[in-house]
Amino acid sequence: MKLTSMPCTRLANSPLSLLTIMSYPRLTTEQMLRKDQKTICRQGIKVAISAIYMDLEAFLQRSGLIADLHAFCQVHNCDVLVAMTIFFNTHNEPVRQLAIFCPHAALRMMICGVLECSHSPSLKLTPAPSTHPNLQAYLQGNTQVSRKKLLPLLQEALSAYSDSVKIPSGQPETEGVCREQADKDLDRAGSSLVPGLSQDEEEPPLPPTPMNSLVDECPLDQGLPKLSAEAIFEKCSQISLSQSTAASLSQK
């Protein structure tokens, strides 16, 4: 495959075409959810967060979606599934939407409440129509809040839910051991989730300085730096915002 470079100014002019190369019209729902997914766990509660690069309305209209979401959670032992849809509208403006799927009403209400009331950062959520009681959809007004910034809010919601649920007396000790092990697993993964959270969403590193191709162990042997769709979206969003600000200032 031949790789070509494109100036940032051209990226800003065609963000929709950039995300098109990462679209998945023929993938199943499970494949779409697993394509760009992160997971967090707190007190034995597992949450999957999937980035989906299409309109939420189109995603929710997929045939058999609710059954697919139930099956996904069962297969991957997830208690909650958060879908973050990302796309550019016809004016090349970024649009973010959220969908929280959780069969447990109390847990779903806790997560939705934390996200709705968050001020640092503020997601500016507007509830969207949903045809299923186990799924809550939102339009995210603050498009600067990426998945990396959403993860700490989800962890806060899980902690609040765990604190609100008391373990009944006489509960087998194995549950406590399981929860303690879950906390240890979360701490071990902390370097990738907090504060960095997800390395693929950080700004890609600069390529290493080229060396003579005849020299052993050339840095370029490790390949080019990895780029994710989320990283491209963030860059395009920042460029579009800066251009809009500059245009408004020039008009004044």
Domain map (residue ranges) of the chain: 29-165
pLDDT value of position 68: 96
Q: Count CB atoms within 10 A of the CB of residue 25.
A: 6
pLDDT value of position 202: 44
pLDDT value of position 151: 95
193-217 residue pLDDT tens: 444 344 444 444 445 544 444 444 4
pLDDT-based confidence at 23, cuts 50/70/90? low
- At residue 160, φ and ψ (nearest 5 deg) are -65, -40
Which CATH number is correct for 29-165, 3.10.310.20, 2.40.30.10, 1.10.3720.10, 3.40.630.10? 3.10.310.20
Q: By C-alpha distance, which of 114, 106, 57 is closest to 83?
A: 57
The amino acid at 79: D
Rounded Cα gap, residues 52 and 70, in angstroms: 18
Rounded Cα gap, residues 5 and 192, in angstroms: 29
Helix axes 147-164, 105-117, angle to 10 degrees: 130
212-234 residue pLDDT tens: 444 444 444 455 555 666 667 67
pLDDT-based confidence at 252, cuts 50/70/90? low
Rounded Cα gap, residues 236 and 238, in angstroms: 5
Q: Flag the least confident range among 135-144, 155-164, 211-220.
A: 211-220
81-128 residue pLDDT tens: 999 999 998 888 999 999 999 999 999 999 999 999 999 999 999 999
Rounded (to 5) percent helix, strand, coil in the chain: 45, 15, 40
Is 136 or 201 the better-scoring residue by pLDDT? Answer: 136
Task: Count H helices and E strands in the chain, helices first.
Answer: 10, 6
Query: Per-residue pLDDT for 189 more than 50?
Result: no
